[in-house]
Amino acid sequence: MNIVDIIERKKYGNVLDAKEIDYFVQGYSKGEIPDYQISALLMAIWFRGMNKSETAELTLSMVRSGKTVDLSKINGIKVDKHSSGGVADTVSLPLVALVAANGVPVAKMSGRGLGHTGGTIDKLESIPGFQTEIPTEKFIEIVNRVGGAIVSQSGELVIADKKMYALRDVTGTVDSIPLIASSIMSKKIAAGADAIVLDVKVGDGAFMKDLDSALELAKTMVEIGDSVGRNTVAYITDMNQPLGDAIGNSIEVEEAVNVLKGKGGKRLVEVIKTLGGEMLCLGGKAKDSAEGKMLIEKSIENGAGLKKFAEIVKAQGGDPSFIDDFSKLPQAKFKIPVSSKVSGYIKEMETENIGKFAAFLGAGRMKKGDKIDLAVGIMFPKKVGDKVEEGETIATILANDKSKGEEAAEKLLSLIKFSENPVKELPLIYYKVSEKGVEKLFNE
């Protein structure tokens, strides 16, 4: 077997078998196959695609390229969640606490962000003392004792994915559904969860821009999960506007706490309740996702989720007193209001570009190794359909560099379109995808 033959076979649209897939994945992971040959193969996959069995085999081979996490010592059904990423996607922090508060263990491994804001790990590191790098045994002990923990993903997991993603990023082969699906699912499978809930974002601020592509990705990932014995459910949710009100790091931690205090924005809370309800169902604590959603709601109302979040923070070395005093989180020097120049209704937003302004302020990293400013970002509570008056503050720029903040404030309005007439709210949750098929959840 040799790599040139494999490239040729895929170039002409042939189906690769398990041995051929494992040959190139393990060979590349070990440095035995050079970048230029894998680049050619990735481009052939981009053009020719992969069928269900090829995609599943690619996923499992990538899992075998690194270490896996054994969570068998954690009591109960371990349920994980993954989001394909978006703007103001402040879901994981309150979600983990709410699910754990209902008796389903959440042993979550997350990454750092590359883009408009930090990842879950970056956000957590804005909490004084919070430790995200914890040995596996300690991680398991915390989950068994407290019910949940969120730690930084080990660099030894899914080595092939790290190498292949870096190559895809510079060869124009990122946007291939088999490659995206195997990348996401290999990490989730290696992290050891028994069941997985996926939040596939769609729209201007998401990687998948249209519903058909998002649906295809969701179906592919559910098929992969189910084929390897992981009960997997995906929801397709809207990202044509920021989901929450905060785009940043410490300000998203504040928003997460406010969700748990019952003060969260409607759209953000609805996604959290929906995903959390599904996690409780898969974890055996609710007869169906509807009952699970009610349990999540109750845990917000009675403060159980907030209490659990404080326990998780303390267990991971953080100071939970910030929950009642946000000034203990990193604070920006300058708060610059953005005022509307017209009266009307918000019709449309350039969500991805709004996120990029947060990165411009320092809230995200554009290349690996960039230092993030945890204090900066954008507060943007307005949503599509909201009525605004001329002169009304519709956003606030939080900056440590005043000139950058003023530039962002000046340009932000150009990313928002207004209408003189009332505008309908955008749908929020489009589809649920599971082994039972596709369920439509919105009205067109």
Of the candidates 112, 123, 163, 187, the residue annotated as catalytic is 187
Its sign, for the CA torsion 212, 222, 351, 172, is negative
The two beta strands, 79-83 and 195-202, are: parallel
What are the residues whose beta carbons fall under 8 Å from the beta carbon of 381, sequence distance 6 or more? 245, 265, 395
Strand 246-248's sheet: what is its strand order? 246-248, 377-379, 393-399, 334-339
Of the candidates 161, 204, 245, 373, the residue annotated as catalytic is 161
Of the candidates 10, 82, 273, 365, the residue annotated as catalytic is 82
* Catalytic residue flag (residue 183): yes
CB atoms within 10 A of CB 253: 26
Distance separating alpha carbons of residues 381 and 371, to the nearest angstrom: 27
Distance separating alpha carbons of residues 134 and 157, to the nearest angstrom: 15
CB atoms within 10 A of CB 287: 10
Tokens, residue 109: 């491994």
**Strand partners of residue 79:** 195
What angle, rounded to 10 degrees, do the helices at 18-29 and 3-11 form? 130
**Strand partners of residue 433:** 234, 438
Distance separating alpha carbons of residues 173 and 157, to the nearest angstrom: 22
Q: Are 43 and 171 in contact (CB under 8 A)?
A: yes
Of the candidates 10, 168, 230, 382, the residue annotated as catalytic is 168
* Catalytic residue flag (residue 82): yes
* Catalytic residue flag (residue 263): no
* Catalytic residue flag (residue 116): no
Distance separating alpha carbons of residues 218 and 39, to the nearest angstrom: 25
* Catalytic residue flag (residue 168): yes
Q: CA 341, 343, 344: angle at the middle one, nearest 5? A: 125
Burial of 35 (0-12, 13-18, 19+ CB in 10 A): middle
Phi/psi of residue 377, each to 5°? Answer: 155, -160
Of the candidates 39, 126, 183, 299, the residue annotated as catalytic is 183
Active site residues: 82, 161, 168, 183, 187
